[in-house]
Chains A and B, each alone.
Chain A
Amino acid sequence: MKTVNQGIEKIDAMSLLTGKAVYTDDLALENCLVVKVLRSPHAFAKIKDIDLTDAMKIEGMECILTYRDVPNKRFTMAGQSYPEPSPYDRLILDRMVRYVGDPMAIAAGTSEKAVDKALKLIHVSYDLLDPVLDPDKALDHKSIIHPEADYHVNGDIGNEVKRNLCASGEFSAGDVENEFSRCCVIVDRVYHTKANNQAMMETHRSFSYPDHAGRLVICSSTQIPFHVRRIAATALDIPKSRIRVIKPKVGGGFGAKQTLVSELFPALVTMKTGKPAKMVFDRSETFTASTSRHEMKIRVRIGADKAGHILAIQMDTLSNTGAYGEHGPTTVGLSGHKAMSLYNRAKAVQFTYKVVYTNTMSAGAYRGYGATQGTFALESAVNELSDLLSMDPLQLRLKNILKSGDTVAAYYGETINSCPLPACIQKGREMIGWDRKFPFRKISPTRIRAVGAAIAMQGSGIPDIDRASARVEVQEGGFYTLMIGAADMGTGCDTILAQMAAESLGCDMDKIVVSSVDTDASPYDTGSYASSTTYVTGMAVVKACEELKRKIEAKGIYPALSASATHSSPVSPPPFMAGFSEIEMDLETGETKVVEFVGVVDCGTPINPSLARVQTEGGIVQGIGMALYEDISYNPKGKMTRDSFMQYKIPSRLDVGRVRVEFESSYEPTGPFGAKSIGEVVINTPSPAIAHAIHNAAGIYLRKLPMTAETIFMTLKEQKTAWPSVLKN
């Protein structure tokens, strides 16, 4: 192939690298009103009154909006296809505030200083309510977080809102109890992953203005332009046809921008004032008033016979969706299905879950979307199982994992076309030097190096729901325009989709022009999330190009000749990954650093191996952050305690050791040029692989993230007997 499977530079690379003005805030109109939001200082309260008299006296203030000024129509900000599985539990501004950071008033003025001053002069009186901060105590708590009568769910998600239960459900295949009774070894443990912040470098931001026809234009840094159009129409109570959404270059998303966050505030101001308005979240707001990964507590029961055949897996997840249900009912499913499916030789599997509301910031979408949490739990349990069986953890996996051709009950009954996971494990084993290094090597009297491993899968789009379209058109001079609605957020999808078009049309890359998304001009696409773009939108591009080729063959080539196609996949073929960590632990302090992380990935055909490699390296490093550093916590009053890069430390380049990536590519027949997804699977293995290495170094199992030096050291101290014998000398 000439362009596909080539490490071609991104088409926007040099403009990004030379700092051109291409992001939302760079393009905002100069005369935008500055929009800021007054946020609740209380975790749970009902607003008695908001007095704006003093605030509106500030010179330069244009308007201050409160719950009295917003449409009374509940909605969800989750960027999902309609009908969204997330409950309609929000208003733009509500009289009830449900977490520290919930918006109470939207202030707009001609300068930041004026707005800052006005915000301080808004007087709010409250009835304070007893907040629910602990997800373990949320169910049937005497405080009901969503007592409102107009709360709405679109379908059966196991919701019992008066019990603070956002969603619940179960799945099983086979008779688990019967299988457990045949097991000679059973691991039964609870694993706890914390909320994490996506921490993309460009915070949430958007601006809006009325166009020549009086329609509302929203320009936003988003992964979901078309969902923004629909949801904004609902929230603002205007027809969808009255809104146009434009997506400029996006400075990272990782799921954070799969939810509406900033859009509605300036949009409402523009609607009320008829003036352009802009809101840029600061970093603290991005931490405290957007969405995070769902905190989960996952109980895993897994049993095997003496020979190491895994017979039964049982997972029970408690997920904390925070104050609102964005992505709550859906993320939780992945914590079970996308973990258990790996072990398809098991005779019986069972998965049960509950998603609860608490008075903390709403959780949402973050790369991995529940699978990351489930993988930490199940892969850790499998490593514990190998220990009990005294079996090499890689052997245990090779014995039990799914294979090409398997029909996987836990994976919604899908048949797996392409699974080179054994080859991934084998290659990674060689790259890390497993046979030399497992389980540990003592490199000085106080330092030890150890290795650990984990495997993972994800999906490629949401079957039958994700829908993408593409249009190619011949232009004068013989180049092509490629119109797509998928949202490049730095991932490079504009480039790889152009690569597919060039390959299909048999032309050079410079003959393909890709436009960024404008809902008035771009063909419909559900958006860039759920690892869908390469696989789903890619297929739409291929189909459109094939159609255009047929037309060219039939009619010859001339300007305005065009073809369109839409694609939706009935299946979601999983990409796979084997991850291996080597850590160095300082036994005197517990300080633990990743020396090397090896990832071997199957994403089917990598459309652009350079970009796929960087996706993988980036995902691994985010995973290392989750494993060792990143921790969203709340104080006893429900205020988030780490709301800046000073307190919430994402990995710097000194924190991550070496990351090495290889591909073990299968060919997925349902994907474009044999491709599957890559964006999410790559974040799943670091936490369990590092936890495993920590165990191999020190004989302790850490089942809660992040695994800090202090936890390691204090656990070591308590469990000294568990130390590997060599350390006792």
Chain B
Amino acid sequence: MSAVLAVLLQLVQFALVLLVAPLVTGLARKARSRLLGRRGPLVVQPYRDLAKLLRKEAVMAENASWLYRIAPYLVFALLWLATALVPTFMTRQPLSPAADLIALVGLLASARFVLALAGMDVGTSFGGLGSSREMMIASLAEPAMLLVIFTMAMFVHTTSIPSIVDFVLGRPVGLRVSFALAVISLTMVGIAETGRIPIDNPATHLELTMVHEAMILEYSGRHLALIEAASMLKLVFYLSLIAVVFAPWGIVRADPDLAGLGIALGAWVAKIIAGTLVLSVFEASIAKMRVFRVAEFLGGAFLLGLLGTIFLYVSQAP
């Protein structure tokens, strides 16, 4: 594979996740609306929203600092990078040695750190409320995610996604219980981190229930567009991660040919759509939790991850 082609495919990967992200969010909204008996907005509505925000001027609070201004760019870049590092259609790419699961968690943590600080910059009560709750949720979700990673990594002896894909595809892996626990736990973490129901409601502006929206309340215009795009990317990140780690079938591992790439791309799109639909069904069938019930939800995810790690020894006895 020539270097030019490799770089080109890497750029395709970056462009792909960015272009698909609003579509996934649109699909999730549409599906949930239909399940709730509403017609819902068009699937392409998020693109229109982003375009509208980009066209508007940005209104900033008088006492906003430089941190407030650079935060959207940083958050967007960190999440775009993290999402693009998760393999979608092929695993061997120039940047794929950076696709280390723990490093990806670190990138997400950095993005969250910057955004939580930006929420506190103007000094309004809503910003502080959002940041405080976001950090509470993250402080439980991040260890749960790391435990899922431990489960995977102890089983396959690696934290690099391409190697995990090789391992999973390389031998018949049956209904491993640890994996099942890990999937459930990672899904719970993903739901919490992307601010879906029952943790947070992405559609709400009711003061006392919002988390993410409270944090970014002061943002407008292009800054808001970037943050919205970043949270759409985060949804793709989790769907893509679950797809590539637990169901990597179809992905290209060697030198790509056109047919293989087409199949891999089709498989990825199908997996993402399936994941989005499952998420919508889940969201439509559950009510939002009280904030302090979230700790129990994520504590459950954490303990499922721990149980998964422990069950490694049951599943693969010496």
A and B interact: no
